Amino acid sequence: MRVLALILAGGAGTRLGALSEQRAKPAVSFAGRFRVIDFTLSNCVNSGIYDVGVLTQYLPRSLNEHIGIGRPWDLDRGRGGVRLLQPYQGHGQQDWYGGTADAVLRNIDYLRESRADTVLILSGDHIYKMDYRPMLQAHEERHADLTVGVMNVRPEETSRFGIVLTDENGCVTQFLEKPKEAPSTLANMGIYIFRATTLIERLGTLGKDYPDLDFGKHLIPSLVDNHAIYTFPFAGYWVDVGTIDAYWSTSMELVSGQSQLNLYDPEWVIHTKSEGRPPAKLGPQASVRRSMICNGCIVRGQVAQSVLSPGVYVSPGAVVRESVLMNNVWIGPGAVVDRCIVDEDVVVGAGTQLGWGSDYDTPNQQHPDRFYTGPTIVGKGARVPSKLRIGRNVEIKAEVDEEVFASFGDVVPSGSTVG
């Protein structure tokens, strides 16, 4: 079996607000030193798959720089290895990817040239650890045209997923894409193994009729009646951190010690591009409790139940609680950061209270469907002035400077958007 893995990594991740304002969702930092896509890439190499294509589109620079030639994942190879596949102009091909399957269709030449007989389609924006080899073996033994990774979800979550109905042998009898009322809780994980000839034929046929060709909406339903489709159940840890609530709560689980995600398993290493930084340093008045502190951090204040990415500086007298601080964040003297997600290169001025008050339920006025559980978000490169009180569910856009805050006075109310 010759396997080609294709990772769909072009998603904009709009529900993450300012965190994905300057990067694709798979490039968002997670657990201090990782990027979201590291988990899928590591799953591939840990499963013995070294022929990987990464399909990018939305703001790909950060993702491209992170992956590079693939050295951290042992994917810098003369044959196979990792390839970054972006939309391009050509005769008859002058548009963005219209859908998940359309992205693969527009790289059909790469698929053919790989000479793979089996194609593993993956999403680059989920946090999970999975050995794909048992699923590949089951796919081969069943002579399947398609095998779909599935897991059971809570009934109230079924409308967010493709729902699968099967017979007693696990053969798919019906596929419903995000139904309002689901007859099953067996959900599609976005992990597909295709027979290459079947995938190429379906892409060519359906691509003529659907410019927004999508696996869940079009391709998989077209296979149900006349092809052998089976499910492969997955019972391990899997989470989509595509919302602010999911990202923040998943991060807090990591520092609580109650997470099912083991980042310290020597048998299943999560590989990433390393930051060349000195060891973390704690000052004489520092206090750190139940937190993850990465290399290059200097802590002179108090940190509790938080994640500090490489290069974070916490000044004397500053307090960081239940927050995620990404690379090179600077927290000024006496500042308080409480229940926040702060993107890279942000400066928080002295004495400012970022995440202030107890009105956690006041949703963001511009995006009440995205920010409604309390965390305040600060976009990359923002400059937050000194001696401000900034409430809950506030979104501070990327690269805003101190002058932008002037219209708010001394208090930025909960639910505001700055920038």
184 and 310 part of one domain: no
Q: pTM of the prediction?
A: 0.94
The verdict on 292 and 183 lying in the same domain is no
CA distance 319 to 199: 53
Tokens describing residue 27: 């490039």
Q: What is the mean pLDDT of residues 255-261?
A: 92
pLDDT at 90: 64
**Which of 254, 269, 300 represents a domain boundary (last residue)?**
254
Does residue 168 fall inside a structural domain?
Answer: yes
Q: Taking residues 360-379, what's their average pLDDT?
A: 94
Do residues 241 and 378 share a domain? no
What band does 92 get if pLDDT is binned at 50, 70 and 90?
low
Taking only the tens place, the pLDDT of each residue in 319-335 is 999 999 999 999 999 99
**DSSP calls for 153-203:** --GGGGGGSEEEEE-TTSBEEEEEES-SS-S--EEEEEEEEEEHHHHHHHH
Q: Which residues contact 56 (CB under 8 A, 6 or more apart)?
A: 9, 10, 24, 63, 64, 84, 85, 86
- Determine the pLDDT at residue 79: 86
Predicted pLDDT at 123:
95
Domain-embedded: residue 165: yes
Residue 330 is part of a domain; what is its CATH number? 2.160.10.10
Is the same domain home to 345 and 418?
yes
Positive or negative, the CA dihedral 108, 129, 28, 12 is positive
pLDDT at position 391, please?
A: 97
304 is a domain residue: yes
- Mean local confidence (pLDDT), 367-378: 94
> Within this chain, do residues 284 and 217 fall inside the same structural domain, yes or no?
no
Q: What pLDDT is recorded for position 275?
A: 83
Give the long-range contacts of residues 395-404, CB within 8 A, separation 24 or more: 395/17, 395/18, 395/364, 395/366, 395/367, 395/371, 396/18, 397/18, 397/21, 398/18, 398/21, 398/22, 398/343, 402/349
Dihedral angle of Cα 132, 135, 139, 140, to the nearest 10 degrees: 70
| Mean pLDDT to the nearest integer, 332-359 | 97
119 Ramachandran zone, left/alpha/beta (phi>0; psi -120 to 50):
beta
pLDDT tens-digit series, residues 299-319: 999 999 999 999 999 999 999
Asked if the model's pLDDT at residue 94 lies above 60, the reply is: no
Residues 118, 173, single domain; the answer is: yes
Domain count, the chain: 2
Supply the CATH number for residue 124's domain: 3.90.550.10
**What is the mean predicted confidence (pLDDT) over 135-153?**
97
pLDDT at 415 over 90: yes
Residue 257 pLDDT class (50, 70, 90 cuts): confident
What is the overall mean pLDDT for the chain? 94
- Report the pLDDT value the prediction gives residue 119, as an integer from 0 to 100: 98
The domain boundary, picked from 254, 271, 293, lies at 254
The whole-number average pLDDT for the span 142-171 is 93
Within-domain flag for 125: yes
> Is residue 36 domain-shared with residue 178, that is, in the same domain?
yes
Q: Is residue 264 part of a domain?
A: no
Closest CA to 80 of 46, 116, 105, 56: 116
CA distance 299 to 287: 8
Query: Is residue 250 located within the same domain as residue 284?
Result: no
Count Cα atoms within 13 angstroms, Cβ side, for 185. 6
**Is residue 337 located within the same domain as residue 389?**
yes
d(CA 379, CA 20): 9
Span 59-88, average pLDDT: 92
Task: Tell whether 294 and 206 lie within a shared domain.
Answer: no
Indicate whether 230 and 330 sit together in one domain. Answer: no
Domain contains 305: yes
Same domain membership, residue 285 and residue 162: no
Residue 259 is assigned to a structural domain of this protein:
no
Q: Is the model's pLDDT at 62 over the cut of 70?
A: yes
Is the residue at 263 inside a domain? no
Note down the domain range covering 194.
3-254
| Boundary (domain end) residue, out of 254, 289, 319 | 254
**CB-based contact 126:239 (threshold 8 Å):** yes
pLDDT at 93 over 60: no
Residue pLDDT, tens place only, 191-207: 999 999 999 999 999 99
